[in-house]
Amino acid sequence: MHKLLKDQLKKSSIKKSDSCLKTKEFKKLITLIEETYEVNDALFFAETYQEKKNSSLLESIFNESIEGIIIQDTNNKVIRMNDAMQNIFNISKNNYLGKHLNFFSETLPAKVQKEINRALQTKGSWQGEVEVELNASQIIYVWLSFNTLRDRKNKIRNTIIRVNNMTKMYASKQKMKYIASYDKLTDIPNRALLFKHLKKSIASMQRTRSNGMLLFIDIDHFKEFNDNYGHPIGDKVLQFVAKRIQSISREEDIVGRLSGDEFLIIADNMNDQYGIYTMIHKILDCFKSPHQIGDYLLNISLSIGVALYPKDGDTPEILINAADQAMYSVKKSGRNNYAFYTQRMSDVANEYYSVHTALKDAINLQDFTLVYQPQFSVKNNSITGVEVLLRCTHASIKDVPIQRLINIAEETGIIHNISNIVLNMVCMQLYKWGMLGLTVPPIAINLSRKELHEKKLVYTIHNALTRYNLDPSHIELEITESAFLHENNDVQKNIQNLQKLGHTFSIDDYGTGFSSLSNIKTFSFDKLKIDKSFIDNLASEKEDQVIVSATITMAKKLGLQVIAEGVETIEQANLLKIFGCDVIQGYLYSRPLVPSAMEKLLLAQEV
The predicted-structure confidence for 120-155, as pLDDT tens digits, reads as follows 888 889 998 888 877 767 888 889 999 988 888 888
Distance CA 81, CA 433 (A): 99
What average pLDDT does this structure show over 453-474? 92
- CATH superfamily name and code, 186-341: Reverse transcriptase/Diguanylate cyclase domain (3.30.70.270)
Distance CA 306, CA 340 (A): 5
Q: Which amino acid does the sequence have at 429?
A: Q
183-202 per-position pLDDT tens digit: 989 999 999 999 999 999 99
Per-residue confidence (pLDDT) for residue 292, from 0 to 100:
92
Position 114 pLDDT exceeds 60: yes
- CATH superfamily name and code, 351-606: EAL domain (3.20.20.450)
Reported CATH class of domain 64-171? alpha beta
Instruction: Report the percent of the chain where pLDDT is more than 90.
Output: 52
Q: Which DSSP symbol is given to 370? A: E
Instruction: Provide the whole-model pTM.
Output: 0.58
Band (pLDDT 50/70/90 cuts) for residue 422 is: very high
Three-state DSSP state, 392: strand
Q: Which amino acid does the sequence have at 257?
A: R
Instruction: Indicate the average pLDDT of the chain.
Output: 86
Position 532 pLDDT exceeds 60: yes
Position 516 pLDDT exceeds 90: no
264-286 per-position pLDDT tens digit: 999 998 888 888 899 999 999 99
Distance CA 323, CA 304 (A): 8
Q: Which residue has the higher pLDDT, 598 or 97?
A: 598
Band (pLDDT 50/70/90 cuts) for residue 1 is: very low
- Contact call for residues 400 and 355 (beta carbons, < 8 A): yes
Band (pLDDT 50/70/90 cuts) for residue 29 is: low
Q: Which amino acid does the sequence have at 560?
A: L
291-310 per-position pLDDT tens digit: 999 899 999 999 999 999 99
Domain ranges of the chain: 64-171, 186-341, 351-606
Compute CA distances 95 → 104, 341, 576, whole Å: 14, 69, 107
Position 455 pLDDT exceeds 90: no
Question: What is the secondary structure of 206-230 as a DSSP string?
Answer: HHHT--EEEEEEEETTHHHHHHHH-
Q: Of how many residues is the chain composed?
A: 607
Compute CA distances 78 → 82, 98, 146, whole Å: 11, 5, 14
